[in-house]
Each structure stands twice: as C-alpha cells, then as structure tokens.
C-alpha cells in the first residue's frame, strides 16, 4: 500500500522536489515529492495546475452547437468530445436509436480517432522509454532517437497516425473541427470513392498494427518481472461493455470489476452513472477524484482506459485482437492484469482491434446509405458516454426551454484515472527513489509511470516554448538550497539569475 | 485526394483559447482570399490544433512551407524566421515544434525538407473561451498584409 504517501505527517520539515512540466504528457501538471534529510520519500502527489473551466465555457450555448464546440476543449482527442457530445444531444432530441448508417459512420470515426491516438502515444511518447530504457541519455530518449535507431518502426508510427487522421477527415468532413456527428445522426454518408480510398491501405495498417503488438510483447516479456512490478497497483477497473460482454468503445453499459476480478457492477445504463459514481475533491488538486459509490472514497477508486477495457471485456469481435487478448490475459493468471506498464500492451491490442474493425466497416454498404438522421421528442437532459482513447468519457447536459445549456458536467478519462496515477507514482517513489540521490533518470521513472496512462491534463492547446522544467531543492526550513532548469530543448542548466548572482 | 500545390501554409492553434486562435484565424483569412477573390492558387492551406508527427507527410512535394502560430515571445507584431530540421525534444506536450516536424520528414523520406519559414504572431492571453485580444487582432492584420503583399506565398 502506498496511501500513506499521499500526505506527510510533518511536511514543514521536508525537502521538496517538483517535476514540472511532465514531459510527453499533454497539459499543465506537476509532481511534488517531499523528502526527509536522508532522501526518504514522505509524500508524492500529482497536481493539475490548470484544468477546469469546461462547464463555464459550455453554459449558455445552444445544444445543437455542442458537438462542434466541445472539440475545442482538447487538441488531443477532439473527436472523442465530438462524439460524446453528439451522443448526449441524441438523447436531448429524443433519438433513442440511430440509423445503421449513422451509427456505423460514427463508429468508423471513433475507430480512426482511437487508432491515431494510440499510434501517437506508443510510437511518439512511450517507445523511447521502452526501446531505450528509462535511464537513456535524455537527448536520445525521444521520437527522433527512435527514428534514428528504428527507422521502420518510426515510419510505421507516422503512417498509422496519418491513416487514422484520414479516416477522421472522410467521416467528419474535415481534418479538424469536423461537423460529421449532429444531434440524431450524422450529416454525410461515405462515398464509394472515399471508401475505396480508405480500403486501399487498410491491410497494410492491420499488418503494422500486428507488428506493433508483437513489438510490445517482445519488449514486455524481455524484462517480464520488472515490467510486471513497475508502478503496479491493485485497483478496481471500469469500462464500457457491449450487451454480450464484447469489447465496445462506442456504446454499451458500464462494467466495474474489483482487483481480484469479482464483478462490482455490470451492464449499468450509463445515463444513471450518478447512482454508481461520485466525484471526490481534495484540497491540494484542481482535478476531482471519482470513486465507486458503493465502495466509498478509500476503496472505490478505479482505473479506466486500455488496461481496464481489455481486462474487463469477455471477448473481442475481431479475430486478431481476440487472439491477442487471450495471450494478454494469460499473464494475469486468472486475475486482471494490474501492471501499469501493461497499459501499453493493452493499448496496442486496441490499436489492432480498431484496424480490423475499420476494415469490417469499409466492407459494410450501410456506410453508403443516405438514411442518416432520426428525431424524437425533446428532452431536458442528455448524457453521452463512450470510451475515449484514454478511458471512459462522460458528457452530461441539461438544457432550458430555449435549448440553451443550463448545466454541464464532464468527467474526462484522465479525471477517472486521477487517484490511480497518484497511486502509481507513490509506488514508484517508494520502490525506486526512496533513500537515493535524485537524478534525472530517476525522476523520469515517475514520469514513465504517469505516461503509461497517457494522461491529457489540459484538454486545450497552448503556444510552445513557455514551460521549462525547474527542480527546486529546499532544506528542512523551506529555504531554497539549489535549483536546476531543464529548458524546452531538454538541456539541463543553471537558471540565469543564479548564474548572474554567482 | 492529394493536394500537391507547391506552397503549404500550415496555421495552427486552438480557435477557442484566446490568442492561440491567431493561427486558425489567419487560416480563415487566407481561405477567404482563395474562395472569394480567387487568389493564392498555388497555396495549399492546412490547419490543426497543434503539430504532430504525421504532419511531416503534408510537407511532401512542396517547394516552400510556412508555419503560422501564436507566440508569447515574438517581437510584435510578428517575426518571420527560417526553420531548419532540428532534433529538439519538443517534450513539453504531445505536440511537436516545426523544426522537429522537419526532422521527422527528413528521416522518413530520406531527403532534405522544403524551404520552411515560421511566422510567429505575437499573442498575449490564452484563456479557454476568450476571444483574440485587441493587440493580437492588430498583429494578425499586420501579418496578413505582409503575407498578401510579399513574395512568400507567390510561386516562382
């Protein structure tokens, strides 16, 4: 257990180390470590520096704008927000069952988004750590290093990303700020030319996805015991599930399993999520801490995302992904796989599933149909939930008689994983950093644990070049003893003011 | 479906995040020139929230590339700088710098990237839901006039 590291008993007498910004993580977050004079870790926390404000951004806007508007919350997974909002507005307009064409076009868009997101995360953000080791020289431990040493792998990563973006462009109408999903359906079908264009490369995409799964299996099993132990925590897991227990990231009920695999709840209608989940708050973080209501704050936190989804589902509907799921589940020896680094493995099984599912849809003639829209009786409340690349995403809106949003509540994937990420960094701090002189490779291990979850901390974009990493060392009295600066180019140096002051 | 016009303008940023909208707003202004005035016929226009690895593939077959982004450090109203491929870290977010995108291009295509410039328009505030501030709007207009009157978007 690492819970005792959440809050130190006497923080006033401890050294403070700050890791800010977190590298290869989207948004403004930082980790603080409190150490005693012998470098023993007494407290470890992941803080979100700037996060909320979505709801205020949305309130007062007409409901029909929501699927387009919410894309601007996040430059990383705008399609997930687009589709979650579209599902919520389906409920608002009383569209209880979409046409086959509309649902399949939305699914195609979602699979394209998940494919490109997972490809970016693995090839760009995590493969440097996994291929070169956590203590590799920092200037080499990045995507350019991967390209230099493993040009074919890197090229496949780029082209997988590109393919996913093309699926989004075709289904959403344009590459960014698409308008494809609208309340009650979609606004365009797929033309035969567009379908043929996407069909052309899909077999290659499946081959590369299979190769990616083989690569992560090889990496994981080469140091099996280490990867099974690093940042590993026992947690509940929650995900969406199909009616028949199949893996489903677009629509279904909610399933939660305990760390030992026992069912906590199953096939829960997501519109009743407030009866099953609550959002806790802590004084030291802007981000909320969701938990399963029946288990309480202490035992009810859970993980979402690829690890939870692959653990929770009974089967995949595509053959290659199902084959890989069985291999993956074997390492859990009958229990859910709890290794945090297994997120990468699960993520790539999902990548393979998306590639296969895209191919299936590209041979489904419903995509060409012009029967795209349904409407029903207007409702005052709309809730849309799906599995975004990083995990379960909730959009909940209430509108007034004029159709303007009165209340909005969004629970994004990273918020669902908040407690889990904190638990993981405490495990790493306890096992790998405690009592040691802190170095950049050691601090990188904290970041490796966070990156396994692929957190998106800001859901917004910003100008580059303003976020150097500064590490401060304070003595027991809180006086600043030393500072180091990691610039945006990765070079570690002495802060200018310290240099000038001698 | 491949747009292989010789000049690429890639303007990026979040349209709903204050002055981060400078890039996408410039995209809209240039698109309007194409659509309504029939100008900039040799220019392909692209926009996105931020630069990513796959954008290296958009650089293929171009003779010149102009990236446009908001900047918190550029001298007002804007700065134009050449960009060289650089193996920088671009580590603070999922996004990449223009220099890193050129480097990816060079590595995956095994050839030098096209001549590339970075047009950095000075911005000031980047809050979610805020519009462009008055100073940023003024800088945007100056940068737009520079692009329309200069040689950068003309194909020789």
Give residue-wise pLDDT tens across range B109-137. 889 999 999 999 999 988 778 899 999 99
Q: What's the pLDDT band for A114 if we cut at 50, 70, 90?
A: very high
The secondary structure of residue A289, as a DSSP letter, is: E
- Give φ, ψ of A191 to 5 degrees: -85, 165
pLDDT in tens, A387-399: 999 999 999 999 9
pLDDT in tens, A342-365: 999 999 999 999 999 999 999 999
pLDDT exceeds 50 at position A110:
yes
Query: Alpha carbon of A174 to those of A68, A150, A164, A293: distances in Å?
Result: 12, 32, 13, 41
CB contact under 8 A, A463 and B13: yes
Chain B residue numbers touching A159 (CB-CB < 8 A)? 54, 57
A240 versus A410: the higher-pLDDT residue is A240
- As a dihedral over the C-alpha atoms of residue B28, residue B33, residue B35, residue B38, rounded to 10 degrees, the angle is -160
Rounded Cα gap, residues A320 and B118, in angstroms: 44
Please give, rounded to a whole number of angstroms, the shortest distance from the CA of A501 to a CA of chain B.
25
ipTM score of the complex? 0.83
Chain B residue numbers touching A489 (CB-CB < 8 A)? 88-89
Rounded Cα gap, residues B48 and B54, in angstroms: 12
* pLDDT for A29: 65
Rounded Cα gap, residues A386 and A247, in angstroms: 12
Interface with B, mutate which of A25, A464, A487 (most B CBs under 10 A) = A464
* pLDDT for A27: 55
pLDDT in tens, A425-473: 889 888 887 777 777 777 778 878 888 887 776 442 233 333 334 445 5
Please give, rounded to a whole number of angstroms, the shortest distance from the CA of B150 to a CA of chain A.
26
Exposed, middle or buried, B4 (CB in 10 Å: 0-12/13-18/19+)?
Answer: exposed
pLDDT mean across residues, chain A: 85
Interface with A, mutate which of B19, B46, B89, B121 (most A CBs under 10 A) = B89
Task: Name the pTM for this structure.
Answer: 0.87
pLDDT in tens, A130-139: 776 666 666 5
* pLDDT for A454: 78
Q: Which of residues 160-189 of A touch B (CB under 8 A)?
A: 161-162, 165, 175-177
CB contact under 8 A, B53 and A157: yes
* pLDDT (mean) for A190-206: 97
Q: Which residues pair with A493 in a beta bridge?
A: A485
* pLDDT (mean) for A34-46: 82
CB atoms within 10 A of CB A9: 9
pLDDT exceeds 90 at position A340:
yes
First to last CA, chain A: 44
- Strands of A41-48's sheet, edge to edge? A15-19, A29-35, A41-48
Nearest to A86 by CA among A186, A190, A189, A174: A186
Which spans in A48-142 are helix H? 54-58, 66-69, 78-92, 100-119, 127-132
CB contact under 8 A, B88 and A54: no
CB contact under 8 A, B52 and A120: yes
* pLDDT for A461: 29
Rounded Cα gap, residues B132 and B34, in angstroms: 23
* pLDDT (mean) for B17-38: 94
Please report, rounded to a whole number, the percentage of residues in chain A having pLDDT higher than 90: 56
* pLDDT (mean) for A8-30: 64
Rounded Cα gap, residues A33 and A435, in angstroms: 12
Rounded Cα gap, residues A1 and A426, in angstroms: 9
Helix (H, G, I), strand (E, B) or coil at A233: coil
Please give, rounded to a whole number of angstroms, the shortest distance from the CA of A69 to a CA of chain B.
9
Rounded Cα gap, residues A455 and A446, in angstroms: 13
* pLDDT for A459: 41
CB contact under 8 A, A463 and B71: yes
Chain B residue numbers touching A157 (CB-CB < 8 A)? 53
Chain B residues whose C-beta sits inside 8 Å of any chain A C-beta = 1, 13-17, 20, 46-50, 52-54, 56-57, 69-73, 87-97, 100, 103-104, 107-108, 123, 126, 128-129
Q: How many H-runs (helices) and E-runs (strands) does chain A carry? A: 18, 17
CB B69 within 8 A of CB A463: yes
CB atoms within 10 A of CB B23: 31
* pLDDT (mean) for A253-273: 98
Whether A485 has its CB under 8 Å from any CB of chain B: the answer is no
Chain B residue numbers touching A139 (CB-CB < 8 A)? 87, 89
Helix (H, G, I), strand (E, B) or coil at A328: helix
Kindly state the helix (H) or strand (E) to which residue A41 belongs, with its residue range.
strand A41-48
Rounded Cα gap, residues B23 and B106, in angstroms: 25
Q: How many H-runs (helices) and E-runs (strands) does chain B carry? A: 3, 5
Please give, rounded to a whole number of angstroms, the shortest distance from the CA of A243 to a CA of chain B.
35
* pLDDT for A447: 79
Strand B7-12, strand B43-48: pairing: parallel
Q: What's the pLDDT band for B78 if we cut at 50, 70, 90?
A: very high
* pLDDT for A465: 31
Helix (H, G, I), strand (E, B) or coil at A223: coil
Kindly state the helix (H) or strand (E) to which residue A52 belongs, with its residue range.
none
- Give φ, ψ of B82 to 5 degrees: -70, 150
Residue A213 sits at the vertex; the CA angle it makes with A209 and A214, to the nearest 5 degrees, is: 115
CB contact under 8 A, A124 and B53: yes
CB atoms within 10 A of CB A329: 16
Kindly state the helix (H) or strand (E) to which residue A251 belongs, with its residue range.
none
Q: Which of residues 11-40 of A touch B (CB under 8 A)?
A: 21, 23-27
* pLDDT for A56: 79
pLDDT exceeds 50 at position A16:
yes
pLDDT exceeds 60 at position A25:
no
* pLDDT (mean) for A256-283: 95
Q: Which of residues 76-135 of A touch B (CB under 8 A)?
A: 76, 78, 116, 120, 123-125
Q: What's the pLDDT band for A28 if we cut at 50, 70, 90?
A: low
């Amino acid at each position: 257990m690492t819970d005792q590291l959440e809050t130190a008993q006497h923080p006033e007498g401890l050294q403070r180390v700050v890791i800010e910004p977190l590298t290869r993580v989207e948004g403004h977050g930082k980790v603080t470590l409190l150490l005693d004079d012998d470098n023993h870790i007494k407290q470890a926390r992941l803080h979100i520096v700037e996060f909320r404000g979505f709801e205020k951004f949305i309130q007062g806007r007409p409901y029909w704008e929501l699927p387009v508007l919410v894309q601007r919350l996040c430059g990383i997974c705008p399609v997930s927000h687009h589709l979650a909002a579209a599902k919520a507005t389906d409920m608002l307009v009383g569209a209880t069952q979409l046409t086959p064409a509309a649902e399949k076009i939305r699914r195609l868009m979602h699979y394209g988004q998940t494919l490109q997101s997972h490809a970016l995360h693995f090839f760009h953000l995590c493969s440097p750590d996994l291929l070169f080791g956590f203590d590799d020289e920092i200037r080499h431990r990045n995507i350019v290093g991967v390209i230099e040493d493993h040009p074919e792998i890197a090229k496949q990563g780029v082209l997988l990303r590109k393919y996913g973006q093309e699926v989004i462009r075709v289904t959403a109408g344009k590459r960014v700020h698409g308008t494809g999903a609208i309340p009650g359906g979609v606004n365009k079908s797929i033309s035969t030319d567009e379908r043929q264009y996407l069909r052309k490369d899909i077999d290659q995409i499946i081959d590369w996805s299979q190769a990616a799964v083989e690569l992560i299996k090889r990496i994981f099993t080469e140091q099996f015991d280490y990867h099974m132990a690093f940042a590993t925590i026992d947690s509940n897991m929650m995900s969406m599930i199909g009616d028949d227990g199949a893996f489903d990231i677009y629509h279904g009920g909610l399933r939660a399993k305990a760390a030992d695999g026992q069912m906590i709840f199953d096939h829960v209608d997501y519109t009743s999520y407030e009866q099953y989940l609550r959002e806790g708050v802590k004084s030291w973080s802007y981000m909320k801490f969701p938990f399963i209501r029946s288990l309480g704050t202490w035992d009810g936190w859970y993980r979402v995302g690829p690890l939870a989804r692959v653990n929770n589902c009974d089967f995949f509907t595509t053959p290659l992904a199902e084959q890989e799921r069985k291999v993956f589940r074997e390492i859990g020896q009958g229990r859910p796989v709890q290794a945090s680094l297994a997120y990468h493995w699960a993520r790539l099984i999902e990548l393979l599933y998306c590639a296969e599912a895209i191919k299936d849809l590209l041979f489904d003639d419903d995509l060409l149909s012009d029967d795209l829209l349904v409407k029903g009786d207007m409702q005052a409340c709309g809730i849309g939930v799906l599995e975004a690349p990083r995990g379960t995403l909730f959009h909940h809106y209430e509108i007034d008689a004029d159709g303007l949003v009165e209340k909005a509540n969004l629970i994004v994937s990273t918020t669902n994983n908040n407690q889990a990420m904190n638990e993981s960094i405490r495990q790493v701090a306890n096992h790998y950093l405690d009592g040691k002189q802190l170095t950049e490779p050691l601090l990188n291990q904290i970041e490796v644990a966070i990156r396994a979850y692929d957190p998106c901390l800001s859901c917004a974009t910003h100008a580059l070049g303003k976020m150097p990493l500064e590490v401060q060392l304070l003595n027991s009295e809180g006086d600043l003893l030393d500072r180091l600066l990691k610039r945006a180019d990765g070079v570690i140096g002495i802060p200018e003011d310290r240099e000038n002051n001698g | 479906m491949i747009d292989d016009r010789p000049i690429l303008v890639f303007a990026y940023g979040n349209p709903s995040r204050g002055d981060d909208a400078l890039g996408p707003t410039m995209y809209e202004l240039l698109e309007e020139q194409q659509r309504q005035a029939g100008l900039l016929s040799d220019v392909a226009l692209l926009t996105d929230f931020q630069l990513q690895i796959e954008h290296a593939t958009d650089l293929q077959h171009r003779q010149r590339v102009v990236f446009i982004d908001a900047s918190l450090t550029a001298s007002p109203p804007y700065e134009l700088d050449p960009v060289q491929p650089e193996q920088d870290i671009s580590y603070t977010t999922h996004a990449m710098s223009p220099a890193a995108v050129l480097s990816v291009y060079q590595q995956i295509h095994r050839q030098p990237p096209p001549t590339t410039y970075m047009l950095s328009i000075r911005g000031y505030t980047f809050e979610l839901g805020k519009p462009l501030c008055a100073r940023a709007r003024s800088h945007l207009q100056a940068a737009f006039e520079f692009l329309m009157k200069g040689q950068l978007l003309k194909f020789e």
